Structures are given as C-alpha cells and as structure tokens.
Amino acid sequence: MELTGLGLNGELKETARELCGPDLRLARVTAVDRNRYVVRNEQGEVPAELTGRFLHAAASSVGLPCVGDWVCVQYHDAESHATIHDLVPRRSFLRRKSPGKNIDFQMIAANIDAAFVVQSCHFDFNVRRLERYLVMVNEGKIEPVLLLTKTDLVSEAELERMIGDISAAGITARIVPLSNVTGAGVAQVREAMEAGKTYCLLGSSGVGKTTLINQLLGQDALETGAVSGTGEGRHTTTRRHLVMLDNGALLIDMPGMRELGIMSEGSGLNDSFAEIGELAARCRFSDCSHNNEPGCAIRKAIERGELDAAHYQSYLKLKAESEFNEMSYLDKRKKDKAFGKMVKSVLKDSRK
C-alpha cells in the first residue's frame, strides 16, 4: 500500500520530507493506549515508543502523538518495532479540556477530513451537547456531519421534531438519520466516505458507533455490547484506533466521552455560533452587553423568534466556560515555565 492510501497528501508529504530527512521514515499512528503506540507504513503495523529526546522536548501533552498523526520513525530488529523521533505538524485536530479538574488540553485525534457526530434518537438526543461537539470540531478545522442513530426506535414525527430542533439552533451541518437495525442510512454514510480521506466517530457511549463501524466493514470485526432495556448499547470501545474500509476510506473509532469540556481559542465558538456574531455586529453600540441596551440586535432577534433563546444561552455558557478554562490554562503554563526556569537555575548553580 502507498502512503497516499493512508491519507498522505502533497502538503503533508513535503513537510514530512524536510522533517524526517534521509535517516527516518514516515508512518501514521493508528492506535494509542496510554504510552504505547502502533504505527503503520507501506508494509504494515508495528508497535512503537517515543524516544527520550522526544518526551523531553514535548512542552505538554499536545506535543505528544495521537491517533491519525504522521510521525518520523526509526525501525529496529527487522522492522518488528519502531521508535518515534518527530511529529509532523497537524493539518486538523480534535482536542478537548482534560477530564476532571486538571486544566490542560487532551489530544483526541489528528489529520481528520470529516467528523461524524453521533447522537441516538432514543435516549441521547441533546442539542446542547451537540453544540459542544460542533465547537470542538470547528475548532480543529474539520467538516462536521450529524448522524442520528436508532431511528427505528422513534416515530417519524419525533424524528422530524429533532431535526427541527437542530435547525432552530442554527446548525447547518448535513444530517443523516440511520438505523443499524434496519440498515437505513448506512449506505449514505458509506457513500460520503472517500478513499484516502480520514473520518472519525464522535458521540456518547452506547449510541451505536461500534455497530455502525461493523456495518461499514461488512463484518463483526469489533465487539459490541448487549443492548439494555432502555435501548442503550453498552460501551465496548476502550481505545482510539484507525481502521480501513473496503473502499479505501480511513475511520477512527474512539471511546465515548462523558466529559466534553470546552477550551476554544475563539474560532470554534465563532464558527459554531456564527449567526450570533452577525447579529452582534448590527447592535447600535459596539460594546453592547445584549441585556437592556437600546438597539440591541440580539435581544430584538430573540423577541421576534428569529434567534432561539436557549441557543443564545448555550453560547453564553460555552463562552464563559471556554474563557475560564483558557485563562486557567495560560496561568498554568506560566507557572510551569517559571518552575522550569527555577529548576534550570538550581541545576546551573549546583554545577559551579
């Protein structure tokens, strides 16, 4: 297989040639499990680990490889395993705030062309959560496609209402309703995936992601859990990994995410709530707080029913959360740098 079949394009190839040089070879990360990696090149997959120099040079977890990354590697012992020396700059990415109280980024996947955001019509449907996913996807410069699964468990009227709720929130991404039971919509998903392009599935546990992958593969290649009495599938995916479909498309499966903290640099929020930014630009005052000021275009749009109030409140909540996390992250980075300088100073003095 050529590397173009693994998603390598001309821009990445040129960048990788300069970075890897003549001594290292280019490979793609296909699986990550804690600090263990699997990389793939033209010949196949092998386990890999980071060099000490790479680990030392990485300023944060953002600088470590994730599934979908292209890396410069050196093979050992008849190419039975490899060491990762460098990371090729990403052209797109998925990341979120690290789960829990730790204020840091967590890389999820990289070099993705389109993200299938999956929600179940039966128990998981939530427009506010969908907006969170879209902020993440837009932040990473990835095209979103919405998949509404388990349509066999709801009526046509309920499905239309859900699609209407999505439209009312100003979400314009393509929507594909599907059922893994009847097979409806699966062909549309398969047709949307092109050879040599990389896709991923995003969604909560139990919405049918693994079952969909098996449908796309045409076999039960991945384990799925039993379905509960509520219609929820039990979560089975335990690590992120990249698989290849028969048509040459590449798909990243990943565990469901219980926490979806937002740390946006602004572009993800602005792209996801573009209509709010357009309205704010029409306000009479440039510093309008959108509360009681005269000539506020946002308040007027809400009163006229042109802007959904819940959608606007969601924007305010995500904006406040993102700004808080971003400030905390920058403060953390400053402290880390100050601590690093102190350690270097102590070590320098001890050598005198």
Is there a shared CATH topology between the 3-87 domain and the 93-253 domain?
A: no
State which H helix or E strand residue 310 sits in: helix 309-350
Tokens representing 121 are 């019509």
CATH fold, domain 93-253, is Rossmann fold (3.40.50)
CATH code: domain 267-347 is 1.10.40.50
Looking at residue 130, its pLDDT comes to 93
How many CB atoms sit inside 10 A of residue 285's CB? 10
With bands split at pLDDT 50, 70 and 90, how would you rate the model's confidence at 82? very high
SS3 28: strand
The Cα-based distances of 54 to 30, 51, 61, 79, 92 in angstroms read 19, 5, 12, 20, 21
Average pLDDT, integer, range 8-26: 90
Determine what percent of the chain is predicted with pLDDT higher than 90.
Answer: 51
Burial (0-12, 13-18, 19+ Cβ within 10 Å), 213: buried
For residues 7-34, average pLDDT: 91
The number of helix segments (H) and strand segments (E) in the chain equals 10, 13
Question: Domain 3-87: which CATH class?
Answer: mainly beta
Among the listed residues 226, 197, 195, 198, the one whose alpha carbon sits nearest the alpha carbon of residue 210: 226
User: Quick one: pLDDT at residue 180?
Assistant: 85
Which band of pLDDT confidence, cut at 50, 70 and 90, is reported for residue 330?
A: low
Parse the chain into domains and list their residue ranges. 3-87, 93-253, 267-347
At 133-160, the pLDDT tens digits run 999 999 999 999 999 999 999 999 999 9
